[in-house]
Amino acid sequence: MKKAVVTGGSGFLGSHVADAFSEAGYAVTVYDLKPSPFLAQGQTMVTGDLSDVGALKDAFAGADVVAHFAGIADIGAAGVDPVKTAEVNVMGTVNTLEAAVEAGVKRYLFASTVYVYSDMGGFYRASKQACEGFVETYAQERGLAFTILRYGTLYGRRSGGTNRIHAMVTSAIREKAISYPGSGEALRDVIHARDAATLTVRTLDPDYAGAHLLITGQEKVRVKDIARMIAEIVPEPISLDFKEGEPEGHYLMTPYSFAPRLSKKLVPTEYIDIGQGLYDCVQEAWEAAHPKEPVYLPGSAKGLRGDTGPGSDGDA
């Protein structure tokens, strides 16, 4: 059986990627700072830090694939502490590259972002640009086969407070209000985390070796329209509050103000409809807010391909 290691596999997207590898028949090892609350049957948990090269080498031993999803994924947090961002994102990535080379890994998947195209995103964007350069150079100098994956706006179960859609859904349930620190006119390529995870495993196809891929949804959606959809799903009046301008560090219409290496866009042909996906997020938020009360939403979203269990990052 082939082995896949997912760093950051205890987190939002990483845990979905770990599940996608399991579904594809891989023996999966999750490497993260904390044990995963989403660890599936048959998956192996290894707790460790990106600064511990020895632990990374041990975890990567015998791996066919390393999918690197660990790191600081929030633009705001990166802006507060650029030194830590460089240590975790850049040096942490270099450590995983060293360990992957020593382990003889056949493919290294790096989780990047659409912000690498932009002059927005601050230190977070800068760290991802630097990491992409290191990944490419390890391929040139050490022969490590790679695929760089630039994700659009992610949403779905298991996301946390730094995910904007999660924050809007949680606020709608708990506060009966959605407040967005911008006009809401910003366009986002929204993709459900499970669809993104499925596409991630597909990128192991030989045609994608050495490729830079955009992993996004089928169409752009305004942040304001996402908020309105959430308000319609929740069966109580929800007030909506939008501000002037846009949140600091975030783009309005497109991230394409900076162009490093061009990439192909990879979108799912079968995907979770955003209405059903948001419905399931509302269901999750209600369960978290009212653990002892029956769920008043009528059942769970049926189009979510079996996600009945409990719930690095959205950029809305």
Give pLDDT tens digits for 82-110: 999 999 999 999 999 999 999 999 999 99
* Residue spans of beta strands (DSSP E) within 21-115: 27-32, 44-47, 65-68, 107-113
**How confident is the model at residue 288, as a pLDDT?**
86
In this structure, what token pair is assigned to residue 74?
């929030």
Q: How many CB atoms lie within 10 A of CB 275?
A: 13
What confidence tier does 289 reach under pLDDT thresholds 50, 70, 90?
confident
The Cα 116–Cα 94 span in angstroms is: 18
Q: Is residue 314 part of a domain?
A: no
Return the closest-CA partner of residue 90 out of 48, 142, 126: 126
User: What are residue 241's DSSP bridge partners?
Assistant: 179
**How confident is the model at residue 264, as a pLDDT?**
66
Rounded to the nearest 10 degrees, the angle between the axes of helix 223-233 and helix 274-289 is 60
Is residue 293 scored above 80 in pLDDT?
no
Is residue 74 scored above 70 in pLDDT?
yes
Q: Is residue 309 part of a domain?
A: no
93: CATH:
3.40.50.720
The Cα 10–Cα 47 span in angstroms is: 10
Give the CA dihedral 234, 238, 242, 246, nearest 10 degrees: -20
What confidence tier does 300 reach under pLDDT thresholds 50, 70, 90?
very low
Domain membership of residue 14 as a residue range: 3-289
Q: Is residue 302 part of a domain?
A: no
Cα end-to-end span (Å), the chain? 38
**How confident is the model at residue 291, as a pLDDT?**
80
Is residue 313 scored above 60 in pLDDT?
no
Q: Is residue 244 part of a domain?
A: yes
Pick the range with the lowest mean pLDDT from 80-84, 118-122, 242-246: 242-246
**How confident is the model at residue 252, as a pLDDT?**
44
Q: Please indicate whether residue 250 or residue 309 has the higher confidence score (pLDDT).
A: 250
Average pLDDT over residues 260-288: 79
**How confident is the model at residue 316, as a pLDDT?**
44
Q: In the β-sheet with 187-192, what is the strand arrangement from edge to edge?
A: 153-155, 187-192, 220-222
Q: Report the domain count for the chain.
A: 1
The Cα 144–Cα 136 span in angstroms is: 9
What confidence tier does 262 reach under pLDDT thresholds 50, 70, 90?
low
Q: In the predicted model, what is the mean pLDDT of the chain?
A: 86
Q: Is residue 299 part of a domain?
A: no
The Cα 75–Cα 87 span in angstroms is: 15
The Cα 4–Cα 28 span in angstroms is: 5
Q: Is residue 304 part of a domain?
A: no
Average pLDDT over residues 165-185: 92
> 119-166: per-residue pLDDT in tens?
778 999 999 999 999 999 999 999 999 999 999 889 999 998 788 899
Q: Is residue 305 part of a domain?
A: no
Average pLDDT over residues 225-242: 93
Q: How many CB atoms lie within 10 A of CB 73?
A: 27
Q: Is residue 308 part of a domain?
A: no
Average pLDDT over residues 239-250: 72
**How confident is the model at residue 117, as a pLDDT?**
75
Percent of the chain predicted with pLDDT > 70: 86
Q: Please indicate whether residue 187 or residue 131 has the higher confidence score (pLDDT).
A: 131
